[in-house]
Structures are given as C-alpha cells and as structure tokens.
C-alpha cells in the first residue's frame, strides 16, 4: 500500500512537472515565422476570401489583392492629392454615409457596425447611416473583400463577403482603403524596411507587391499596421514573400485591429485636430451617426 502511494506520488509530480514546463519549452522554440502562424493574418484572410473575385462580370475590376478600380484604369495609386478625401464638416468631423445590404445576418451586421464605430473612438471619422446623400459607402456581400481607394463619388462598393470577410481587421482594412489608404508594403520607403521575395510569389499576383509613391504623412513604416500583409502572403511554395529588415524575426501582418500608427495617419490625413478642438464650433447635427 505504501509502495503504491509512493508510486502514485511520483507519477503526479511527473505530470505536474510536464504540465508546467510544456508551455515554457514551446515559447523558447517558438519563432512565430511559420506559415501556420499567419492563418488569421489580414492577407491570408483576404487571399482565401478572394478566390472567386473577378469571375462575376457585374462586379468592379479588382486589382492588387483587394483594391477595386474603375474599368479602364490600370492602377490604383493614391488619389488623395486629386481630392478624393471625404469632406470635413464645420465641427471638425468627417461624416461618411454608409448603407449595409440586407444580405447580412443580424450578427454580421452588428460586427460590421462595430467596425464602423471603432473609427469614432480614436479619429474624427464618423460613419453615418445613408440618408439620400450623393456620396456614400455601399457595403455588400459580393465575391470577396475589396474596396476602392478614397472617395469615388456616388454609391461606392465595399465588399465584405459573408464567406470570410466579416472580421474586425478586414472591415477596418477595407474601410481604410475607402478613406484613401493603400497597403503598407507598397509604401514608397518599404525597401528600407522589408525585402520582397518575388521568386516565392504566385505567378499573376506580383502586383500585390508593387511599390508606389505613397503619402506617408511623416509616420514611420508600421509592421503592425492592419494594412500590412503577412510574411507568407500569396506564397506559391510555403516560403516567405515578405521579410522585415534588418531583424528578420519581427512579426508582420498580424494586426487584429488598427494600430496606433494607423490611427495617427487617419488623423493626419484628415487633419482631425485642426478644428475639432475649437471652442467656438458646435458639433454638426447628424441623425444617428456612429
């Protein structure tokens, strides 16, 4: 009996030791650089959801992963210098009308509205329900996740497919496109911050990694941006397509929501603090804005 008790005691100690040490051993070996770690990155979610994008002729032309472009236009360079920002009201806020299609369930609609509302928590952007305004964001469930860059005029499509797009980070990502922002890895200074390995990129998707003359607004390159693709974005061989430099082990593309620098850029682009703090201005009346 004593022998059995002693054996049981030793066994319990061994189990307890294994249970406690296991996670620490895993964390020491864990690098965060495997393709499995990017399963829920923005770029992986977009890549999976956008498999059928471009197959429906009645949908916008989509290029560069998830950017809708007018038919005949061969690129989607930043348009903010051409006046595609959403207008600012006299109270310093920017009211962006939106309409959500009936195709979404109540739960999906709530998730989308929470994503819209998140902008009001830290910026002067206020998404307000459509009320016959000329220009508005028309949120629909089409063949994938995509958006135009900046204000296009009239009802402009933001597609959040019910099959893979109704996530907070994807909602914010597409709405940031609609506000005028491009992908982080396309920044004009990206070559000083990441290496693009085109030899690992799926043929036909190289345009996702083009470099363009972006307006960086005096902000640093942001590995944590919700607009940054993951390490294995559009990989054809399970090898990295984007590697941060000089430290290759820095995590990229893992954002689950807008980063502080994403928020700073919105506030700088729309000059959110230029009039909102003036005591002589009262908030513009809007019905049920978010």
Does 13 map to a domain? no
Is residue 255 situated within a structural domain? yes
Does 286 map to a domain? no
Quote the CA–CA distance of 239 and 247 in Å, as a whole number.
17
CA geometry: angle at 45 spanning 99 and 222, to 5°? 90
Would 9 be classed as within a structural domain? no
Specify the pLDDT at position 273. Answer: 81
Residue 180's pLDDT is what? 93
- What are 223-249's pLDDT values in tens digits? 999 999 999 999 999 999 999 999 999
Structural domain includes residue 44: yes
Q: Is residue 30 part of a domain?
A: no
Q: Is 228 annotated to bind ligand? A: no
Residues contacting 277, CB < 8 A, separation 6+: 92
Supply the CATH number for residue 120's domain: 3.40.390.10
Asked, for residue 19, whether it belongs to a domain, the answer is no
- One DSSP character per residue, 231-257 reads TTTTBSSSS-SEEESS-TTS--S--SS
Any domain includes 18:
no
- Catalytic residue set: 174
Q: Contact at 8 Å (CB) between 158 and 176?
A: no
Backbone angles phi, psi at 192, to 5 degrees: -90, -5
Gap between the Cα atoms of 123 and 93, Å rounded: 9
Q: What's the structural domain count of the chain? A: 1
Spatial distance between the Cα atoms of 240 and 237, rounded to a whole number of angstroms: 9
Q: For each successive 10 residues of the chain (290 residues), what is the average pLDDT?
A: 47 40 34 63 68 61 65 43 84 97 97 98 97 96 91 94 94 96 94 97 90 92 96 94 96 94 96 55 44
Residue span of the structural domain in which 105 resides: 36-270
DSSP per-residue codes, the chain: -HHHHHHHHHHHHHHHHHHHHHHHHHHHH--S-SGGGGTTSHHHHHHHHTTTTT--TTSPEEETTTEEE-TT-------GGGT-SPPBPTTS-EEEEEEE-TTS-HHHHHHHHHHHHGGGGTSSEEEEE-SS-SSEEEEE--SSEEE-SS--SSEEEEEE-TTTT-SHHHHHHHHHHHHT---GGGSTTGGGTEEE-GGGBPTT-GGGG-------TT----TT-TTPPPTTTTBSSSS-SEEESS-TTS--S--SS--HHHHHHHHHHTTTTTTTT-TTPPPPP-TT--
The answer to whether the pTM exceeds 0.75 is: yes
CB 88 within 8 A of CB 281: no
Q: What's residue 116's pLDDT?
A: 98
Distance, in Å, from the CA atom of 32 to the CA atom of 39, rounded to the nearest integer, reads 12
Q: Do the Cβ atoms of 211 and 186 come closer than 8 Å?
A: yes
> Cα(139)–Cα(46) distance, rounded to whole angstroms?
16
């Amino acid at each position: 009996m004593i022998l059995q008790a002693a054996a049981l005691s030793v066994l319990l100690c061994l189990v307890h030791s294994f249970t406690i040490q296991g996670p620490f051993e895993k964390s020491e070996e864990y690098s965060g650089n495997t393709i499995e770690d990017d399963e829920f990155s923005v770029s992986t979610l977009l890549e999976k959801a956008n498999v059928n994008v471009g197959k429906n002729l009645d949908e916008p032309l989509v290029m560069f992963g998830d950017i809708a472009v007018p038919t005949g236009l061969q690129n989607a360079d930043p348009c903010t210098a051409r006046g595609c920002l959403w207008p600012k009201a006299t109270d310093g806020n920017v009211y962006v009308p939106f309409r959500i299609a009936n195709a979404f369930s109540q739960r999906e609609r709530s998730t989308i509205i929470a994503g819209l509302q998140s902008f009001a928590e830290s910026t002067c952007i206020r998404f307000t329900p459509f009320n016959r305004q000329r220009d508005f964001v028309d949120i629909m469930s089409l063949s994938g996740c995509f958006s135009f860059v900046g204000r296009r005029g009239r009802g402009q499509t933001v597609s959040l497919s019910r099959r893979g797009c109704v996530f907070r980070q994807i909602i914010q990502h597409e709405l940031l496109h609609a506000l005028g922002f491009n992908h982080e890895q396309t920044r004009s200074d990206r070559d000083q911050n990441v290496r693009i390995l085109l030899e690992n990129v799926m043929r036909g998707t190289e345009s996702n990694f083009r470099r363009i003359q972006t307006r960086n607004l005096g902000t640093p390159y942001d590995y944590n941006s919700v607009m940054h693709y993951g390490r294995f974005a559009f990989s054809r061989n399970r090898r990295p397509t984007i590697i941060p430099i000089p430290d290759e082990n820095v995590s990229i593309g893992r954002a689950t929501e807008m980063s502080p620098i994403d928020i700073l850029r919105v506030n700088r682009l729309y000059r959110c603090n230029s009039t909102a703090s003036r005591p002589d201005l009262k908030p513009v009346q809007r019905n049920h804005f978010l």
